[in-house]
A and B are shown apart, each in its own frame.
Chain A
């Protein structure tokens, strides 16, 4: 068992849970429970008191990056908290969730959250910690939005995610600064560099950013508003995430980095300041909630504020109190949330204005909840009392003898705490005023069990802290404070002193204030928080989001466009200007150029360039002409390749030219013609002329720039590159004399594999797009040439024409062409390694051979006789290429290592069989599959019966 198993098992469980059937509530709960228990056992087993357990897994050793897990006392306590409460929550959820809820999703998210949380507490590297931190935000988002059909759940989830994830980004920035100061992201290195960090100029920015991360996560003022809205989550989630674990991540981080960051004035002001505000605000608002979960949420905010204040105070004893209170709060608050869940589950409401007298129907649950709220109020003999008293003691110390403000605040919080705890338990007493949605009764035995266990823990810790929680707490304290660990005594009785007096004063004053509020202010029916209801963080958040959205829309409408032409204009202008501004005009002209002009070559390009210009001129109204002209340019390009020593390119260009022309011809069938206006058009308006002149200028400038650049490069000598290497090694190491082909299938085999994959992806995309293809209404009708299957002159169908009619001669020799072209393809394929040819060219030749058959006799005739399945060709080709690459692994070489076998075969003699042969075969098969798939899919559109749009039908009927 290692730490990584501890962190990874929940993620694994999450995957398994997601795959289980929707009605397997028991199986999923067993799985999740087993994982939590397994984690608990593992964590117990791995931990050695007083020591730090490490696990390092090398990730990118070259960059010094490793995945580090580190468990000291503090991490151990938090891990136990996450796993222990996690286990109880799983048990509770089993009964809480109804059979209609999508249970697999719930447990999958819950387990993923558990893993992420363990990742946060066990990370030994700060960046890694931030990654897990954001994962907890994400899983929390998913869990809050679990009932995503409810608007409040979606809103709450979005708000929680926006606030905590933004905080996470701040944290990342802060951690990066911290890493920059220390020179390492390793937690140990950071913790050891206290002096260096605190004397650095960047200390304050780092502190502020990290504090932003921690304060948003722990719902501290002014970011506290997301927590009450997160209560839209199912209650087990609130109990687990929003009281015991997730919100504790913020205070955990502050504790974790306490040795490195704490002890300065800035720390105290920021952390204790935010903490004190939160403490008072949360406690005050909690009194006036009417939703039981809302009350608990504000109370949680207040208690988190208390912990944050303790951390801000920064004395070692305050740290002890902070860790102690974290544990105490987790136990009593989780149990209270679960009790609320039970009440909600059994009565159908959580509204404290209607809930009354529940004690009679559910005495056990009521007793448990009353004890737990006693702990929340700080009643003696319960765990909340102990840590709250430590808090009072610390606040007394801070102000010394002169400044009592901190103590007043602490006192106020104590009083408010008692008031809202009393308010909470009113639901159990009195007479019900109105009938409840459901008749309440006790929950199932095992749904109550987690609450019982947690309340028992509150009692045991409250009565005998020294022997129950003492040793565990000590581990955490030592891990943070090390040699500075103060002497402290966890006991109920410290004699008569000021903190004790404060505790009792708080209890008495609280009870009095509660009575007062009830009598004078109708607390039991109040709708909103007095004074503070205007100070709505949620409203501010919504306003900020709205303003952001508006600003973005404004920017988009001014700076963006949905139109293509301005975008292309900007791109071409950038293409022209950016190199010009960065590098200036090309220099170093050499005249005359190294090679004298061949007049034939010049004439060739006179034709090629003329074709291009004419195509540009004709593309608007004369598409066929433009296509033919562009094809002319393509042929000239192919001849140029041949002229300039690139026979492979010439072959490929020629074949691609062929298939492209067929492709576009097939496509033009579905592009209704654009007819030039009959009458002589009036002179275009000035803005059109201006636009055309502008485009012409840009086109001229781009052409000129490209020509100048090409010339400037061409007259320079070729610098020493890697080309020589390929030429040298082609034969001895690649086993072929055609360096281009050896490069493609051997040296750059991986690139080629990627390229044929792209080819396959594009072909499949084309196929998929055509499956849903709705042609333009004007193109749906059968073209005039095809209205009758019979040729008007010969009274024959096209198939008859090819078989026995006037196309017979052409038909016979074009059918004969198939075997000949097949052999040509095989020939070009086989010689490819040594002479011009190869998989790409051969594949294209073979595709053209097949397409010719389609063109001659039509789709039906060909497909009745040949069962070509281009999808399979494509798949087999890719598989063959990959398998060839993987074959190298079998011999312990890297992917795509080539090998040439020398076989001595009877009859054939000695045969060189390079593994690249099989790779090239894969390329060949893929190219054939892709080309056929694209062209045949396009061709099939003509024999598909397209639904004529209604619009056109009605006009037809009208005629």
Chain B
């Protein structure tokens, strides 16, 4: 499992990095989305791999780590996902605004000279 997850994070992150180095605004927003998946997964995985051990302390007795997954990394990622949506929206509005203002979808607001 660990290897698959690590490779998955690597692939998402690499694709994202490739995209944010591209010149077109839509490529950047796609790249940022892919990178945010990768980073969210990465932070989430800091709590390690747990299967069928959701952090719901329903069983009687004093709960401890090992019986349940790490709730901390999950809580951190949860808000990150929602804020990721908000920043994507912000980027999107700037993207379409810049397209209208500059007449190009190049990230610098002007086409490169030849």
Contacts and interface: CB of A to CB of B under 8 A. Distances in A.
Nearest to B41: A637
Interface in A822-857: 834-836, 840, 844
Contacts of B75: 740, 743-744, 748
Contacts of A773: 93, 96-97, 100
Pick from B22, B56, B97 the residue with the most CB of A within 10 Å: B56
Given A645-B51, A723-B47, A710 B6 contact: yes
A840 B78 CA distance: 8
B33 to A, nearest CB: 5
A82 interface: no
A718 B48 contact: yes
A694 to B, nearest CB: 9
A702 interface: yes
A713 B46 contact: yes
A663 B88 contact: yes
Contact of A737 (B57, B70, B78, B82): B57
Nearest to B79: A755
A677 to B, nearest CB: 14
B92 A739 contact: no
Interface in B50-82: 50-58, 62-65, 68-75, 77-79, 81-82
A710 B63 contact: no
B21 A572 contact: yes
Contact of B1 (A563, A572, A595): A595
Given A670-B99, A740-B55, A605 B93 contact: no
- Grouping DSSP codes into helix (H, G, I), strand (E, B) and loop, the B interface class, with mixed when no group exceeds half, is helix
Contacts of B1: 593, 595-598, 601
A634 interface: yes
Contact of A710 (B5, B18, B90, B96): B5
Interface in A589-608: 593-598, 601-602, 605, 608
Contacts of A627: 30
Nearest to A641: B44
B93 A619 contact: no
Given A644-B49, A743-B71, A565 B17 contact: no
Contact of A727 (B2, B57, B100): B57
B11 A612 contact: yes
A595 B55 contact: no
A317 B69 CA distance: 79
A572 B17 contact: yes
A640 B96 contact: no
A633 B12 contact: yes
Interface in A601-642: 601-602, 605, 608-609, 612-613, 615-616, 619-620, 623, 626-627, 630, 633-634, 637, 640-641
A577 interface: no
Contacts of B50: 644-645
A905 B75 CA distance: 33
A715 interface: yes
Contacts of A695: 18, 21-22
A268 interface: no
B2 A711 contact: yes
Given A565-B23, A671-B105, A775-B100, A706 B37 contact: no
B18 to A, nearest CB: 4
Given A707-B6, A752-B79, A727 B22 contact: no
A695 B20 CA distance: 10
A609 B85 contact: no
A655 B22 CA distance: 29
A740 B21 contact: no
A605 B20 contact: no
Nearest to B64: A724
A730 B9 CA distance: 31
Contact of B72 (A572, A605, A723): A723
A775 B57 CA distance: 52
B interface bracket (residues with beta carbon within 8 Å of A): 35 or more
A817 B77 CA distance: 29
A585 interface: no
B10 to A, nearest CB: 3
Contact of A711 (B3, B37, B46, B108): B3
Pick from A707, A755, A774 the residue with the most CB of B within 10 Å: A707
Contacts of B4: 597, 601-602, 605
B82 A840 contact: yes
A694 B71 CA distance: 40
B86 to A, nearest CB: 4
B92 A667 contact: yes
Contacts of A710: 5-6, 9-10, 42, 45
B13 A649 contact: no
A777 B103 CA distance: 8
Nearest to A592: B3
Interface in A905-959: 927, 930-931, 934, 938
A656 B81 CA distance: 7
Nearest to A730: B57
Interface stretch (A25-33, A60-68, A761-769): A761-769
A18 B6 CA distance: 61
Contacts of A835: 56
Given A619-B19, A626-B30, A612 B12 contact: yes
Given A664-B29, A674-B105, A710-B10, A755 B15 contact: no
A728 interface: yes
A762 B87 contact: yes
A889 interface: no
Contacts of B23: 565
A770 B77 contact: no
Given A615-B30, A627-B30, A927-B82, A776 B103 contact: yes
A600 to B, nearest CB: 11
A463 interface: no
Interface string A641-670: 101111111001100100110011001001
A706 B14 contact: yes
A727 B65 contact: yes
Contacts of B44: 641, 644, 646, 649
A775 B102 CA distance: 10
A747 B94 CA distance: 35
B86 A762 contact: yes
A672 B71 contact: no
B3 to A, nearest CB: 6
A633 B16 CA distance: 12
Nearest to B52: A645
Interface string A145-158: 00000000000000
Given A646-B74, A770-B93, A934 B65 contact: no
Nearest to A721: B72
Nearest to A593: B2
Contacts of A840: 78-79, 82
Contact of B22 (A609, A620, A774): A620
Nearest to A629: B30
A706 B74 contact: no
Contact of A758 (B42, B52, B83, B100): B83
A775 B96 CA distance: 7
Contacts of A626: 26, 30
23 contacts: A568-B21, A593-B1, A595-B1, A601-B4, A605-B8, A613-B15, A626-B26, A630-B34, A640-B41, A645-B53, A660-B33, A660-B88, A664-B92, A667-B92, A670-B99, A672-B105, A702-B13, A740-B75, A759-B86, A762-B87, A766-B93, A774-B97, A774-B100
Given A737-B56, A743-B75, 6 more contacts: A663-B92, A755-B79, A758-B83, A759-B82, A770-B93, A834-B56
